[in-house]
Amino acid sequence: MGKSKKGKQREQFETTVLSRFVLRWEKSVFLKKRKWTELPSDILLIIFQKLGPINVLTKAIRVCRDWLELARSELVLWRKVDMTCHGKKFGPNYLEDIACIAVNWSAGRLEEFSAEEFGTYDLLQYITDSASNLKCIRLIRSHVEESELEKLIKRWLLLEEIELTRHWCSPELCEAIGLLCPRLKHFRLNELYFGCGSNKKNLIANYIGKTMPNLRSLQLIGSSMTEEGLHAILEGCPQLESLDIRNCDNLTINQRIQSELERIKILRLPNDSTIDYKFHRHVTESSPCWGPCSLCYGSDSNSDSDIDSDTETYFDIKYGHIVFQNCE
């Protein structure tokens, strides 16, 4: 007599559970026997580059001492330090600690630094003092005031790229950037926290046109400028090849502007989709978010409570050393 339907289902279920158990056991045995130190350094370097500085400094270097020494000695890992899109896993104080170590390990060869939702004047001053070849700064919702930023810009004479996204930026600061950074080629000024009156909407655009003649690419997502401001930019930046003016609601592309835009090779217009813009603002029907709020920062954005309290490492900010405890 054949097995009942329930009996077959039970047997199938037991088989599935057993196979999963065996698979997990084999995987655990494989991982325990795997000798991570035997991976070639060139392969590890590629892995570290894919992981990025946050994952390297919080996870990868804790695997073994060899990985720690490789990360510390490979200066190519620290020429570009991108600390954006970290998913709010760490508080701003912890991220600053990691940034200091990355700067120290760059041994003065840091060229690009990007930070999101953290960054103080002290940190940027430390970076400025440590990196004489700094060419790119990207700040997304940082905690640096305009007056502090202007002091730092005076020392960023080699800068070729600046981004200020969801940041405070007045027309005067924009003018200072143009005057103090003669090598500037790429400029991003997105979703500013600076409200302009109806008669001042084009001030920033006018300063860009007057002080940044060498621009190759410009991104002004969410700008309040009108056709007059865009005309000033196109007239004052003859080498401009890439222009992103998405979400510029006051812009109307008339016939004159359209003819001026024909020379732009990469063009994103006001009504184009922002789905590929990773720092897109949080917008609700009742309240578009133009300034710092709980939607942008989260209620616990200033807390480091999400850091594992049992971590085996601690950071020495002064020297940038990572000390391992109970690590063989």
Higher per-residue confidence, 214 vs 284: 214
Whether the per-residue pLDDT at 242 is higher than 70: the answer is: yes
Average pLDDT over residues 271-299: 51
Whether the per-residue pLDDT at 281 is higher than 90: the answer is: no
Average pLDDT over residues 308-325: 40
Average pLDDT over residues 57-67: 87
Average pLDDT over residues 215-236: 94
Alpha carbons 77 and 68: distance in angstroms, whole number: 13
Of the listed ranges 32-41, 144-153, 233-242, 275-284, the least confidently predicted one is 275-284
Higher per-residue confidence, 7 vs 70: 70
Please write the tens of the pLDDT for every residue from 10-30.
666 555 544 554 455 445 544
Q: What is the DSSP string of 39-53?
A: S-HHHHHHHHHHH-H
Alpha carbons 298 and 300: distance in angstroms, whole number: 5
CA 237 to chain centre: 26
- Please list the residues that pair with 113 across neighbouring strands: 81, 137
Confidence class for position 279, pLDDT limits 50, 70, 90: low
- Judge contact between 202 and 178, C-beta under 8 A: no
Q: What share of the chain is helix, strand, coil (3-state, %, to 5)?
A: 40, 15, 45
Please write the tens of the pLDDT for every residue from 40-55.
888 889 999 999 999 9
Which among 118, 76, 73 has a CA at the least distance from the CA of 100? 118
Average pLDDT over residues 142-150: 89
Confidence class for position 266, pLDDT limits 50, 70, 90: very high
Structure tokens at 165: 């996204």
Please write the tens of the pLDDT for every residue from 155-208.
998 999 999 998 888 889 999 999 999 999 999 999 775 554 445 689 999 999
Of the listed ranges 74-78, 83-87, 314-318, the least confidently predicted one is 314-318
Structure tokens at 80: 């570009």
Structure tokens at 195: 């409200």
199 burial (CB, 10 Å; 0-12 / 13-18 / 19+) is exposed
- Judge contact between 184 and 208, C-beta under 8 A: no
Sign for the CA dihedral angle at 324, 89, 152, 78 comes to: positive
Q: What is the pTM of this model?
A: 0.74
229 burial (CB, 10 Å; 0-12 / 13-18 / 19+) is buried
Higher per-residue confidence, 14 vs 126: 126
> Distance between the two ends of the chain, CA-based, in angstroms?
61
Q: What is the DSSP string of 204-249?
A: HHHHHHHH-TT-SEEE-TT----HHHHHHHHHH-TT--EEE-TT-T
- Please list the residues that pair with 165 across neighbouring strands: 140, 190
Q: Among all chains, which residue has been given the structure tokens 């698979």?
A: 23
The mean of the pLDDT values for the chain is 78
Please write the tens of the pLDDT for every residue from 88-97.
778 888 999 9
Of the listed ranges 104-118, 156-170, 223-237, 306-320, the least confidently predicted one is 306-320
Alpha carbons 133 and 207: distance in angstroms, whole number: 26
Confidence class for position 301, pLDDT limits 50, 70, 90: very low
